[in-house]
Structure 1
Amino acid sequence: MSRTIAVADVGGTHARFAIAEIEGGTVVSIGEPVTLGTNDHASFQTAWRHFCELNPGDEPNALSVAFAGPVDGEVLKLTNNPWVIRPALAKEKLGVDDFKVVNDFAAVAHAVGALGDEHLDHITGPTGPLPAAGVTSIVGPGTGLGVAQLLKTADGHAHVIATEGGHIDFAPLDSLEDKMLERLRKRYRRVSIERIACGSGLANIYEAIGAIEGKPVKELEDKELWTLAMEGKDAMAAAALDRFFLTLGAVSGDLALAHGANAVVLAGGLGYRIRHLFASSGFADRFIAKGRFERRMEAIPVKLVTHPQPGLFGAAVAFAKEHA
């Protein structure tokens, strides 16, 4: 029997909502998403009400939310946004009978476990489909840096493990990165990898390189800086983008080693926007450069999710599995 539910993907910058159809533990369809700016709404509850007003009629009595932050505890706080969710009050406040919340990158991992190979672009390593069993590390640069694990067993089951791997320490790998770390420590008490391998991380790299080289840097919004870097019209911005790819490759390889992974999948809106630049970047070299484990790293396929809404799809998959 099919069921209509609402799904949401709540990040630091945007909250996306959609209507999904589920049946027999699988997702049948996802409707056209509605994207709302988190800065335009005081709370998740008001954003949810806005979405309901945009979709008058029979409102779904179930909601599954992919949430950009830890999802254990009585009060859930977004890592990069002041919104909070209180799961114990969610049904009452949101007017639904069934409510589920999962970490945003756990939702992406659920999506990866259910998506076909047609939704995955090859980045580096062996070609072909993802391994049928083993651990896949999910890594996603966006507003922050999301990390999760997908464990597929030989009997066809898939288990998702949420992590906060994006908050591990940044580990410099050359003299320039030593200087970058020294510079960033003046701004942050602790420099995590998320300070570099995410959307706002490009500005941190850009400013650090400018200070190291004694050159002036332009005061730009993140979007403007990314445009300059991707177009290659500003040498300093282009250098920052090169360093971004190097850092993302290094940390993706580190996470694969730490997870015992036999595959890595990159996700997130930023990863999708820069997908055409991976081949000409230093990502693959840094991913593989793990000393005595280089041969192991060469055997790990790295792919990128091309599904337009993996967070929403994954939230629907997580709900469908629980209510199968």
Structure 2
Amino acid sequence: MSTGRPEHRAWLLADVGGTNARVGLYNPGQGEPDLLFARPTSDFDDLAGLLRAAIQTCPEAHVRHAACAIASPVEADDIALTNAGWRFSVEQTRRRCELDTLEIINDWAAQGWAITRLGPTELAQRSDGVPAPMTPKLALGPGTGLGSALVVPADARWQVFATEGGHISFGPQTPREAAVVTHINARFGHCSAERMASGKGLETIDAATAAIDGRDGQPRDAYAIVADAKADEPAARETLTLFTQALASAAGDLALATGARGGVYIGGGLIPALGALFDWQAFHQRFIAKGRFGDYLNGIPVFSIEASQPALAGLAAYVEQRS
């Protein structure tokens, strides 16, 4: 969503997730964004508070333009940041911050724009396969939720479309997965991919297996589950396995649905936090487990996004293409 007319000056870029917010300063055509700060989203009451705090850190830049990636659908002036409890008007925020331009895009649209800009050292190939030229690419990844975006060729350029692929229904492939899905369906009314393959998904899976197995104790948050998995606690390890299978299954479904022969690019904050606990080989085996179309998926390369601030890079690419 756009408000105002841009000029060739510094842009404030903000990547605002349900958990963390990262803000950078960018001069179009002059390298990469400079990170100003990274803070918990809960430090701020709304977007205006975050932007004003950022503007105060660089008064010499005379910032008049901002572009923000928000973990929410972006369809009108009224925006709700679901996982942080924010609700704001884009136009009112622009006025409160005394900006000439305020652009709002979905956070995974920013990730999609990032993969049009990232270099080889900022990507790690996790499977065989060669990207087919000028074919769609899929950006996907777990953080607080499960985000996705489709990147499609348009003449000699790219266009990026935010999607809600994380909310497709998850299809269980084993009796254990079926039991977990039945429990989640009973609890929430729908078992989406996000209910399994995200930070919140780790907690949902763990609570489901605890109920199914009759384990006592308080529910664990994602941090505790990861810590216990690192200590090789069996239930936590199973939770990570179920999470990995769910993410791979969703990635394979979305790659088939979109014809993403240009590659699947996995980002988000959760997999880097898991580090060596995340099993890329197991991911790929489940990714291609689509019967007759296993060979089709085996030809699609899977990359992990290794850039430190991919959403800010994506916002920079977005600002460049609209100039």
Deviation at 1:275, TM superposition (A): 4.8
What is the TM-score when the length of structure 1 is the normalising length? Answer: 0.92
Match of 1:235 in 2: 234
Match of 1:13 in 2: 19
Paired residues of 2:71 and 2:81 also in contact (CA < 8 A):
yes
Match of 2:57 in 1: 54
Matches within 5 A, 1:1-324: 3-23=9-29, 28-126=31-129, 130-153=131-154, 155-229=155-229, 231-262=230-261, 263-279=263-279, 282-323=282-323
Secondary structure in 2 matching 1:28: coil
Deviation at 1:53, TM superposition (A): 2.7
Deviation at 1:187, TM superposition (A): 2.1
Secondary structure in 1 matching 2:173: coil
Secondary structure in 2 matching 1:194: coil
Secondary structure in 2 matching 1:12: coil
Paired residues of 1:138 and 1:266 also in contact (CA < 8 A):
yes
Deviation at 1:232, TM superposition (A): 4.0
Seq. identity, %: 31
Deviation string 1:184-241 (CA, Å, 9 cap, x unpaired) is: 1232122221111001211111121122222235533321222222x14311001110
Q: Give distance in 2, aligned partners of 1:99 and 1:307.
A: 25
Paired residues of 2:36 and 2:54 also in contact (CA < 8 A):
no
What is the TM-score when the length of structure 2 is the normalising length? Answer: 0.92
Q: Give distance in 2, aligned partners of 1:4 and 1:181.
A: 48
Q: Give distance in 2, aligned partners of 1:292 and 1:122.
A: 24
Paired residues of 2:114 and 2:317 also in contact (CA < 8 A):
yes
Deviation at 1:167, TM superposition (A): 1.1
Deviation string 1:269-311 (CA, Å, 9 cap, x unpaired) is: 1123335344465211110000110110110100011111111
Q: Give distance in 2, aligned partners of 1:225 and 1:304.
A: 23
Deviation string 1:122-180 (CA, Å, 9 cap, x unpaired) is: 11232x6x443101111110011001001135x53111111111111122111111110
Deviation at 1:266, TM superposition (A): 0.3
Choose 32-41 or 100-109, whichever is displaced more: 32-41
Paired residues of 2:24 and 2:36 also in contact (CA < 8 A):
yes
User: Against the structure 1 CA distance between its residues 249 and 131, is the aligned structure 2 distance closer, same or farther, given a 3 Å change threshold?
Assistant: same
Q: Give distance in 2, aligned partners of 1:33 and 1:274.
A: 26
Counterpart amino acid of residue 177 in structure 2: E
Paired residues of 2:13 and 2:26 also in contact (CA < 8 A):
yes
Paired residues of 2:48 and 2:97 also in contact (CA < 8 A):
yes
RMSD: 1.9
Deviation at 1:79, TM superposition (A): 2.8
Paired residues of 2:14 and 2:22 also in contact (CA < 8 A):
yes
Deviation at 1:248, TM superposition (A): 0.6
Q: Give distance in 1, aligned partners of 2:62 and 2:9.
A: 12
Paired residues of 2:47 and 2:93 also in contact (CA < 8 A):
no
Paired residues of 1:15 and 1:35 also in contact (CA < 8 A):
yes
Q: Give distance in 2, aligned partners of 1:288 and 1:217.
A: 37
Counterpart amino acid of residue 320 in structure 1: E
Secondary structure in 1 matching 2:35: coil
Choose 74-83 or 141-150, whichever is displaced more: 74-83
Deviation string 1:30-82 (CA, Å, 9 cap, x unpaired) is: 11241122222211111222222333433311100011111111201113121
Segments of 5+ residues of structure 1 without an aligned counterpart are none
Q: Give distance in 1, aligned partners of 2:196 and 2:203.
A: 8
Segments of 5+ residues of structure 2 without an aligned counterpart are 1-6
Q: Give distance in 2, aligned partners of 1:41 and 1:91.
A: 16
Secondary structure in 2 matching 1:114: coil
